[in-house]
Structure 1
Amino acid sequence: MATLAEAQSIGRQKLTSSLSADVDVQALLCHVMDCESSRLYLSPEQVMSDEQWQKFTQFIERRQQGEPVAHITGSRGFWSLDLAVNRSTLIPRADTELLVALALEKLQPEMTVIDLGTGTGAIALSIAKEIENIKVFATDSQSDAIQLAKKNAAQNALSSVSFIQASWLNAFQTQSFDMVISNPPYIEYDDPHLQQGDVKFEPLTALVSGDDGLDDIRVITRQSRACLKSNGWLIIEHGHEQSQQVQRLFKQAGFTNISAHSDFGGHNRAVMGQLTL
């Protein structure tokens, strides 16, 4: 039987090829032990049971094969929420929290917002958690994603969000929303990064968007013009080399007050604009 300190050391040795070995080992060990990371430092000599050790070594082996930590544990933290994760959606990224921060600067109680391509429900649920008496809708074209998002809503006691299986804004009428927000697919179909890291384990439908990665963003900017109220806002996440192209799409769709925003790593990550009718 191993102590927590020994388990961490062995885990790091086995994950030497991972750039996030320390973080991965801590996340997997805390999941096995059902504890906060502080226990790893406060009780390093705690002895693991045989069952805990066996489970931990199995998790490390899966991580050695490249499987994302979030798929191994079945969960991922986002904003202030703990979200269930599976292979039917993207794994929520910390960079996408930028969209929530931007939305909270503009939204007020009684407004209506829709999250397109909601996946786990991360963006929609985070907004609902922060603003009382706000009307939040969320769509996804995949039924498995809608079921997962509903599960996350129940798990986080956020029953006010309405989840609808639909492609982008196809199911909605004109001038319905104060804000449209989306983290859509934005990777080129032949991008070599699709064979690297966590994205190897994620659905292509949530990643790829045509030859230049902008097909879905074109649809969203065009449809948002019809579905936003006057002075409503559109916020879209994009790839770090796509900012200028996305800003042009906003302009072509008639948006003003267009601004580009960087993620926490300093990379271009989102564009927002306002529609004045």
Structure 2
Amino acid sequence: MTQPTYQQLLRDSGLERIDAQVLLLHVCQQSRAWLIGHGDDSAAPEHIAAFTELAGRRRAGEPVAYLVGTREFFGRDFQVTPAVLIPRPDTELLVETALELAGPGGRVVDLGTGSGCIPVTLKLERPDLTVSAVDLSLEALAVARRNAATLGADVRFLQSDWYAALTGETFELIVSNPPYIEQHDPHLAQGDLRFEPRSALTDEGDGLVHLRRIIAGARTHLVAGGWLLLEHGFDQGAACRALLHEAGFSQIATRRDLGSNDRVTLGMIGPELVHPEDCRG
């Protein structure tokens, strides 16, 4: 029986071509340039078997990032497992905004770090920053630490339920991409979201539960003039602005992602909201 070519494997996979290419190149451990030159070659039996297995899992809905174990973020490859949310391009806006607002030598903390893509990127882009990150999940922290080690980023990681492990610490910048999907949102049962950790997606409430907690606790951990940056859903910009206003933040603004959706809301804390007693252990 004639072996199929690599191009035939792609055509017959039943997948979108980009997904099929990523999986095939992962199996072959080759680049797209290699595929251009070898696409009409007969596929090796071991490649056929491995690709067929992965293609079947993809057709069943498993995210490509989990199948290959990595996802690109800010031009770098980050390891991902089903223990962490898959990094998304929209979150690059959060990083870009943080890089813009972080002063020289500033202290930054990422709340709910997941894969660690946010703090690792901040440290690599701005080595002058002192970067910390927390997550409640030990499995997620293990992934984040591996990414930091692999990419050479000096980031401190702590297990913490939001601010719980940060008693007495203050920062110039707090960033977070918390779970913000409303518990009954139908998207939770669709596409890649079906395979991602539910606790990283939804607060099992109205979508604002964790955003409220982060905003409420920020005063204790921001220095005067410090910024809080929050990623949120496309329809939560107004709610986040209102919550920041109620908490006394100033210079409140919402920035839009490449799809023109509200995505990152930020606010600055003034000296009148910072009290020494708030920072005591």
CA distance in 1, matches of 2:217, 2:33: 47
User: Is contact 1:175-1:230 (8 Å) kept?
Assistant: no
What is residue 132 of structure 2 aligned with on the other side?
137
SS at match of 1:257: strand
Alpha-carbon shift at residue 174 of structure 1 (Å): 4.8
Q: Write the distance in 2 (CA, Å) between the matches of 1:69 and 1:201.
A: 11
- SS of structure 2 residue aligned to 1:226: helix
Deviates more, 1:40-49 or 1:232-241: 40-49
Structure 1 residue corresponding to 2:99, chosen from 81, 101, 104:
104
Q: What TM-score comes out, normalization by structure 1 length?
A: 0.93
Name the SS of the counterpart of 1:76 in structure 2: strand
Distance 1:190 1:55 in 2: 37
Q: Which moved more, 1:264-273 or 1:242-251?
A: 264-273
Counterpart mapping for 1:200-211 below 5 A: 200-211=194-205
Deviations 1:27-83 (A, max 9, x none): 111111212223333432233211011111111000010011011111111112211
How many Å apart are 1:170 and its aligned residue?
1.7
1:207 CA displacement = 1.0
CA distance in 2, matches of 1:134, 1:79: 17
Aligned to 2:166: 172
Does residue 1:191 correspond to 2:182, yes or no?
Answer: no
Q: The residue matched to 2:21 in structure 1 has which SS?
A: helix
Is the radius of gyration larger for structure 1 or structure 2?
A: 2
Task: Count residues with an aligned counterpart.
Answer: 269
Measured against aligned partners, the alpha-carbon deviations of 1:226-273 in whole angstroms (never above 9, x if no partner) come to 100111111111110111001111111111111111112221111011
Aligned CA-pair RMSD: 1.3
Give the Cα separation in 2 of the matches to 1:269 and 1:38.
35
Is the 1:231–1:274 contact (alpha carbons within 8 Å) kept by the matching residues of 2?
A: yes
The one-letter code matched in structure 1 to 2:234 is: H
- Report what 1:122 is aligned to: 117
Q: Structure 2: how far apart are the matches of 1:183 and 1:203? A: 14
| 208-217 or 165-174: bigger deviation | 165-174
Report which stretch shifted further, 44-53 or 58-67. 44-53
CA spacing shift, 1:189–1:33, aligned 2, 3 Å: same
Q: What's the CA shift for 1:210?
A: 3.8
Partner amino acid, structure 2, of 1:274: M
Q: Residues 221-260 of structure 1: matches in 2 within 5 Å? A: 221-260=215-254
Matches within 5 A, 1:5-154: 5-11=7-13, 14-15=14-15, 21-154=16-149
Which amino acid in structure 2 is aligned with residue 70 of structure 1? Answer: A
Structure 1: state its 5+ residue gaps.
Answer: 16-20
Q: Does the 8 Å contact 1:135/1:161 carry over to 2?
A: yes
Deviation of 1:110 after TM superposition, in Å, equals 1.2
Equivalent position amino acid for 1:5 in 2:
Q
Distance 1:2 1:108 in 2: 56
**Structure 1 counterpart of 2:236, one-letter code:** Q
Q: State the percentage of identical aligned residues.
A: 38
Unmatched segments (≥5 aa) in structure 2: 272-281
Q: Distance in 1 between matches of 2:20 and 2:166?
A: 45
The aligned counterpart of 2:263 is 269
Offset from partner CA, 1:63-108 (integer Å, 9 cap, x none): 0100110111111111122111111111111111111111111123
2:90 aligned counterpart, secondary structure:
helix
SS at 1:233's partner residue?
strand
- State the partner residue of 1:18: none
Whether 2:157 is the aligned partner of 1:155: answer no
Task: Provide TM-score, normalisation by structure 2.
Answer: 0.92
1:235 and 1:272 in contact (8 A); partners too: yes
Letter in 2 for 1:113: V
